[in-house]
Amino acid sequence: MADLNFTDNDFKTQVLESSEPVVVDFWAPWCGPCRTVSPVIDELAKEFAGKVKIGKLNVDENSQTASQYNVMSIPSVVFFKNGQPIRTMVGIQSKENYKQEVEQILAQ
């Protein structure tokens, strides 16, 4: 599992006020597709360590943040830059799709 687990309580400081881009995987333990995406997110967290903050937010335990960003389906991976959500990918995606998006954000 990605080392970072965001919560309603620390989302503002960890994500919105982050000086580096942040990728948030909105998930739940009971969600089968989320379990498929989880290892991909973990790999990306290792690959982009020090460049992009990558972590997870359990929607069951942190419903306030999930509803604030209109997360209706999980897994939803939201890409933040300068405190703003700039892209959302819903459902299972390939590692390459996520990686491409992270690289685009870093290139901006």
Rounded to the nearest 10 degrees, how much is the dihedral formed by the CA atoms of 81, 86, 68, 24?
Answer: -60
User: Is 31 annotated in the active site?
Assistant: yes
CA-closest candidate to residue 53, choices 105, 107, 91? 105
> Does 34 qualify as catalytic in the annotation?
yes
22: left (phi over 0), alpha (psi -120 to 50) or beta: beta
| Catalytic-labelled residue, pool 34, 54, 59, 102 | 34
Q: Which of 8, 10, 18, 31 is an active site residue?
A: 31
Residue whose token pair is 């703003």: 84
Q: Which residues are catalytic?
A: 31, 34
